[in-house]
């Protein structure tokens, strides 16, 4: 077998060949080198145990069998087969001869004949462990994976073992059934008294007794520090409790013990992904795919990691590979469509969304994705199909998105009454699902303001990392931030990236230093070195999103409550507040279905109060950091774009460039809902757009009477 040398993070080695059929029974997939594999298979045969002969046969039969064994050992396979067949003519159910024949045919590179005799042995002894194992291995070798899985399930049922549970777990994972993959391990641990302590841990987790579960897993590891199941289950517990760094370490240790345990690779990839360690997640998913090339879930996840890393064409290529294996998966077409939309490939992305809908007619996400292009016009037939779907057995999230899509469809037709009716229904359904409390948000804003007011003289704003490359564009979503990013990223020295989560991740890390309810009090405990380190980490951890230009934009709108933290760790960073008329801004949020987050947008009163909280804290930040935050009003950009662009560039200490005025010609990827809108020149139709729905926006008018004229 040829050697391979794929090394990933933490120096973990994963072979680029498929798993060998070797001793220990854990490595079961077969490659094309049949001669080497047969040798391995025959080695396995003898490693599974000695043959016990029934000595009731006649001495002449025993002599003939001994002769067949001798011929086999001398590699006279043809003569050995002939001798054994002579025995079977007299004794057709002679178990030892049937068994040896299967072995001879394996050594003779004839697995199809071998399986016949393995099956005959199992007809005589249905629970024979050795032949159940052989049957599974040969079927896998022959590529009959469906029969192989059934055989393995039968083997595990009759002879439950941790090793077979792990192999079954790998199989189920390759079939995109992660729950079953995990459950087969847990079921075994629960059923085997030798694993009583692990079983206790599992029961504690199911009951929510996490401290007791941790104790159980630690007890196992005290006795056996390399117990891979305790390490993995302990890692899952840490993951569940959002202790991702601990989970990561435990999964890595488990993989070092058994680099062929697919489920641990899956666990590690996901813990990297949730920590936004995307390069490591990418490598982990790649290693899982090397072990299990048919794992479609891992393949699609790898494509999504590429997209998150702004490697859009690579992501599209991976999605296409997944579709080449199974072109009936609507989820992959949707992901493909999203990536194509980001690249501005309008027709291709529409085609991908429509293929998803054809495969899954109740795909609210498919219809909403078309609507979210903002300029797509639904046909009467499409509108009729959407409306009929509402009366069918449709999953809640699909129905919510279908309602938003219908609202947009009627908005395009200028039937604003019907449009608002669907927006109202969709928002109300979503509001009942999400968790959001406007009072708590207001309290959080007050807490931040009070903290920074109270500690103005003690907070260290001088030790942060002095890098001046980041430009933060923040505010409410749908307030024109994508337009500003598109304009600025058309400048030769500015890189447009995407909505980066790094500032909020840093906040969470500071919070978890002592499990505080928020990160504020811990800010006072940071040393000069730690403050600087957080700033440097931000710069280093966002490198993947940047290319050659000096400055880069972080367009995460939700960063505005964290301006104090930003100024601590990156004192030279620039901050642009993208602001919009409150009624237009709030209503634009209300019309948008967000794939995740932004829970305040699904109720008009909630979004209005959130806007007021935003105004309150931005007023505070502007007084706290005078002249350090640049506010840009969307309406001013629309009315006098060059003046606003020059003003922004002056704030950024950059020269004006004409390219900023032809931003719509840029081919850069744009991920937000405004991706299609910023690929056209500035238009005024979005100003005071709320007046088309004026009669239904009483709540917003009451919150903002000065703008309701």
Please write the tens of the pLDDT for every residue from 208-267: 999 999 999 999 899 889 999 899 999 999 999 989 999 999 999 999 999 988 999 999
Per-residue model confidence (pLDDT) at position 681: 58
Per-residue model confidence (pLDDT) at position 186: 79
Tokens of 192: 């085997």
Per-residue model confidence (pLDDT) at position 31: 35
Alpha-carbon gap, residue 297 to 299, rounded angstroms: 5
Residue 345 DSSP class: -
CA distances from 682 to 391, 496, 509, 517, 689 (A): 40, 19, 40, 44, 15
Per-residue model confidence (pLDDT) at position 160: 84
Q: Any alpha helices (H) in 277-363, and if so which ranges?
A: 278-291, 296-308, 312-325, 330-342, 346-359
Per-residue model confidence (pLDDT) at position 11: 35
On average, the pLDDT of the chain sits at: 86
Per-residue model confidence (pLDDT) at position 60: 76
β-partners of residue 496 are 553
Phi, psi of 479 (to 5 degrees): -110, 10
Per-residue model confidence (pLDDT) at position 8: 37
State the architecture of 175-275 in CATH terms: Alpha Horseshoe (1.25)
How does pLDDT run across 573-587, given as a tens digit for each residue?
A: 999 999 999 999 999
Per-residue model confidence (pLDDT) at position 614: 98
Query: CB of 6 within 8 A of CB of 287?
Result: yes
State the architecture of 9-159 in CATH terms: Alpha Horseshoe (1.25)
Establish whether domains 9-159 and 438-707 are of one fold. no
Assess whether pLDDT exceeds 70 at residue 510: yes
How does pLDDT run across 97-108, given as a tens digit for each residue?
A: 999 999 999 888
Residue for token pair 């004794």 = 91
**Window from 67-81, 96-110, 176-190, 508-522 with minimum mean pLDDT:** 176-190
Per-residue model confidence (pLDDT) at position 59: 55
Assess whether pLDDT exceeds 60 at residue 27: no
What CATH code is assigned to 438-707?
3.40.50.300
**Window from 16-30, 214-228, 541-555 with minimum mean pLDDT:** 16-30
Alpha-carbon gap, residue 283 to 305, rounded angstroms: 10
Confidence of residue 498 (pLDDT cuts 50, 70, 90): confident
CA 267, distance to chain mean position in Å, is 11
How does pLDDT run across 629-664, given as a tens digit for each residue?
A: 999 999 999 999 999 999 999 999 999 999 998 877
Q: What is the dihedral of CA 369, 372, 376, 381, to 10 degrees?
A: 50
Contacts of 168 (CB under 8 A, 6+ apart): 149, 152, 153, 156, 184
**pLDDT > 70: what percent of the chain?**
88
Q: What pTM did the predictor assign? A: 0.71
Query: CB of 451 within 8 A of CB of 549?
Result: no
The domain spans of the chain are 9-159, 175-275, 285-360, 375-433, 438-707
How does pLDDT run across 597-632, given as a tens digit for each residue?
A: 999 999 999 999 999 999 999 999 999 999 999 999
Alpha-carbon gap, residue 584 to 590, rounded angstroms: 10
Assess whether pLDDT exceeds 90 at residue 35: no
Q: How far apart are the first and last CA of the chain?
A: 79
Residue for token pair 């009716």 = 421
Residue 562 DSSP class: G
**Window from 145-149, 437-441, 550-554 with minimum mean pLDDT:** 145-149
Residue 350 DSSP class: H
Per-residue model confidence (pLDDT) at position 669: 55
**pLDDT > 90: what percent of the chain?**
61
β-partners of residue 575 are 472, 629
Assess whether pLDDT exceeds 50 at residue 55: no
* 285-360: CATH superfamily: Tetratricopeptide repeat domain (1.25.40.10)
CA distances from 124 to 93, 98, 325, 636, 680 (A): 8, 10, 40, 87, 76
Per-residue model confidence (pLDDT) at position 569: 97
Confidence of residue 174 (pLDDT cuts 50, 70, 90): confident
- Identify the three-state secondary structure at position 275: coil
Q: Rg of the Cα trace of the chain?
A: 32
Alpha-carbon gap, residue 140 to 107, rounded angstroms: 17
Assess whether pLDDT exceeds 80 at residue 439: yes
Compare 36 and 287 and report the one with higher pLDDT: 287
Beta strands of 453-546 (E only): which ranges? 470-475, 494-498
Assess whether pLDDT exceeds 60 at residue 314: yes
Tokens of 386: 């959407």
Alpha-carbon gap, residue 263 to 260, rounded angstroms: 9
Confidence of residue 1 (pLDDT cuts 50, 70, 90): very low
How does pLDDT run across 378-388, given as a tens digit for each residue?
A: 999 999 999 99
Per-residue model confidence (pLDDT) at position 17: 29
* Helix, strand, coil percent content, the chain, rounded in steps of 5: 65, 5, 30
Alpha-carbon gap, residue 439 to 405, rounded angstroms: 30
**Angle of the 244-257 helix axis to the 262-274 helix axis, nearest 10:** 150
- Identify the three-state secondary structure at position 284: helix
């Amino acid at each position: 077998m040829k050697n391979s040398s794929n090394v990933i993070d933490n120096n973990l080695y994963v072979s680029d060949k498929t798993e060998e059929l070797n001793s220990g029974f854990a490595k079961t997939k077969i490659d094309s080198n049949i001669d080497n594999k047969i040798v391995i298979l025959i080695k396995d045969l003898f490693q599974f145990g000695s043959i016990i002969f029934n000595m009731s046969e006649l001495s002449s039969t025993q002599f003939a069998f001994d002769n067949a064994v001798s011929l086999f050992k001398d590699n006279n396979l043809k003569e050995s087969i002939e001798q054994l067949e002579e025995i079977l003519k007299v004794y057709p159910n002679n178990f030892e001869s049937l068994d040896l024949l299967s072995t001879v045919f394996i050594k003779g590179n004839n697995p199809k004949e071998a399986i016949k005799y393995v099956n005959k042995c199992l007809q005589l002894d249905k629970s024979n462990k050795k032949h159940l194992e052989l049957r599974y291995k040969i079927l896998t070798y022959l590529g009959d994976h469906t029969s192989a899985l059934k055989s393995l399930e039968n083997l595990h049922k009759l002879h439950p073992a941790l090793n077979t549970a792990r192999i079954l777990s790998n199989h189920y994972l390759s079939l995109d059934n992660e729950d079953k993959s995990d459950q087969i391990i847990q079921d075994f641990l629960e059923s085997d008294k030798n694993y009583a302590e692990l079983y206790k841990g599992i029961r504690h987790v199911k009951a929510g007794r996490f401290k007791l579960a941790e104790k159980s897993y630690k007890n196992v590891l005290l006795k056996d520090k390399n117990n891979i199941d305790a390490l993995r289950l302990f890692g899952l517990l840490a993951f569940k409790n959002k202790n991702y760094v601990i989970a990561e370490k435990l999964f890595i240790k488990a993989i070092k013990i058994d680099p062929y345990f697919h489920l641990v690779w899956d666990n590690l990839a996901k813990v990297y992904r949730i920590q936004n360690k995307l390069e490591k997640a990418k490598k982990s998913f790649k290693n899982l795919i090397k072990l299990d090339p048919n794992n479609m879930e891992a393949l699609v996840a790898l494509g999504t990691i590429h997209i998150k890393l702004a490697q859009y064409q690579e992501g599209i290529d991976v999605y296409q590979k997944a579709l080449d294996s199974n072109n009936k998966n609507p989820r992959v077409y949707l992901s493909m469509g999203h990536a194509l939309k980001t690249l501005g490939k309008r027709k291709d992305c529409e085609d991908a969304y429509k293929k998803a809908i054809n495969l899954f007619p109740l795909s609210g996400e498919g219809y909403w994705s078309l609507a979210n292009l903002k300029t797509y016009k639904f046909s009467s037939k499409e509108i009729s199909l959407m409306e009929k779907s509402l009366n069918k057995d449709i999953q809640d999230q699909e129905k919510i998105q279908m309602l938003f899509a219908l609202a947009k469809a009627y908005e395009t037709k200028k039937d604003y009454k019907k449009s608002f009716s669907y927006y109202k229904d969709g928002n109300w359904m979503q509001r009942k699902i999400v968790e959001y409390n406007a009072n708590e948000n207001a309290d959080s804003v007050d807490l931040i303001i009070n903290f920074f007011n109270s500690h103005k003289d003690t907070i260290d704003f001088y030790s942060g990392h002095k890098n001046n490359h980041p430009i933060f564009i923040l505010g409410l979503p749908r307030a024109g931030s994508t337009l500003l990013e598109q304009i600025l990223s058309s400048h030769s020295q500015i890189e447009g990236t995407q909505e980066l989560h790094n500032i909020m991740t840093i906040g969470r890390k500071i919070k978890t230093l002592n499990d505080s309810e928020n990160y504020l009090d811990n800010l006072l405990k940071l040393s000069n070195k730690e403050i600087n380190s957080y700033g440097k980490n931000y710069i280093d951890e966002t490198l993947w999103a940047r290319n050659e230009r000096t400055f880069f934009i972080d367009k995460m709108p939700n960063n505005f409550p964290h301006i104090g933290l930003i100024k601590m760790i990156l004192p030279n960073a620039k901050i642009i507040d993208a602001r919009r008329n409150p009624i237009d801004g709030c209503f634009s949020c209300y019309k948008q279905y967000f794939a995740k987050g932004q829970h305040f947008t699904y109720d008009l009163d909630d979004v209005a109060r959130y806007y007021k909280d935003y105004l309150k804290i931005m007023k505070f930040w502007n007084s706290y950091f005078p002249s350090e935050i640049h506010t840009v009003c969307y309406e001013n950009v629309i009315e006098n774009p060059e003046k606003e662009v020059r003003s922004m560039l002056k704030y950024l200490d950059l020269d004006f460039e004409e390219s900023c005025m032809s931003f719509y010609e840029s081919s850069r990827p744009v991920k937000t809902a405004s991706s299609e809108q910023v690929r056209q020149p500035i238009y005024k139709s979005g100003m005071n757009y709320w007046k088309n729905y004026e009669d239904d926006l009483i709540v917003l008018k009451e919150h903002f009477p000065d703008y309701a004229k």
